[in-house]
């Protein structure tokens, strides 16, 4: 068990470009979450999956954001037509939900996105 892995660690892009991040959760975990965090703030929920099903998406998430978890294992988060306001740390977390008791989250180290 190597924990939650996120790639890349850093991404610098120009405004208007598309970017994609990858998250590999802990192998036996069925839940996978994406959060966004800006400096001095707590993580902000974006979306989460139970296996391959996307169960909830934040109302704050624009249509430019899309996430997938095709086989219930790794997940990708894509941001289309990036804007400077998208600059943030994107965190992935996983957990094991058992009998509707979803407890602690295990986070990756995040992908730091800078949009120039």
Partner 1 sequence: SQKIEQNSEALNIQEGKTATLTCNYTNYSPAYLQWYRQDPGRGPVFLLLIRENEKEKRKERLKVTFDTTLKQSLFHITASQPADSATYLCALHRTAGNKLTFGGGTRVLVKP
Tokens of 107: 């986070």
Measured distance CA(35)–CA(93) in Å, rounded: 8
Measured distance CA(58)–CA(84) in Å, rounded: 20
Hey, how many other C-beta atoms are within 10 angstroms of the C-beta on 63? 7
48 belongs to the binding site for partner 1 (CB under 8 A): yes
Q: Which of 7, 22, 45, 66 touches partner 1 (CB under 8 A)?
A: 45
Give me the residue label for tokens 């990708």.
Answer: 76
Q: What is the DSSP string of 54-76?
A: EEEE-TT--TTEEEE-TTSS-EE
Nearest distance from C-beta of residue 29 to partner 1, angstroms:
13
Q: Which of residues 63-82 bind partner 1 (CB under 8 A)?
A: none
56 belongs to the binding site for partner 1 (CB under 8 A): yes
Q: Which of 42, 70, 71, 99 touches partner 1 (CB under 8 A)?
A: 42
Among the residue ranges 14-22, 60-68, 72-80, 89-97, the one whose residues contact partner 1 (CB under 8 A): 89-97
The binding site for partner 1 (CB under 8 A) comprises 4, 33, 35, 40-45, 48, 55-56, 91, 93, 97, 102-110, 112
């Amino acid at each position: 068990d190597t924990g939650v892995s996120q790639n890349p660690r850093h991404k610098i892009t120009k405004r208007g470009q598309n970017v994609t991040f990858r998250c590999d959760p802990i192998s036996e975990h069925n839940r996978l979450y994406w959060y966004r965090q800006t400096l001095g703030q707590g993580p902000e929920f974006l979306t989460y999956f139970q296996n391959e099903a996307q169960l909830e998406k934040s109302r704050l998430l624009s249509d430019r954001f899309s996430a997938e978890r095709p086989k219930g294992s790794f997940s990708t988060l894509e941001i289309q037509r990036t804007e400077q306001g998208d600059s943030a740390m994107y965190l992935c977390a996983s957990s094991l939900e058992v009998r509707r008791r979803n407890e602690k989250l295990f986070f990756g180290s995040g992908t730091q996105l800078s949009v120039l």
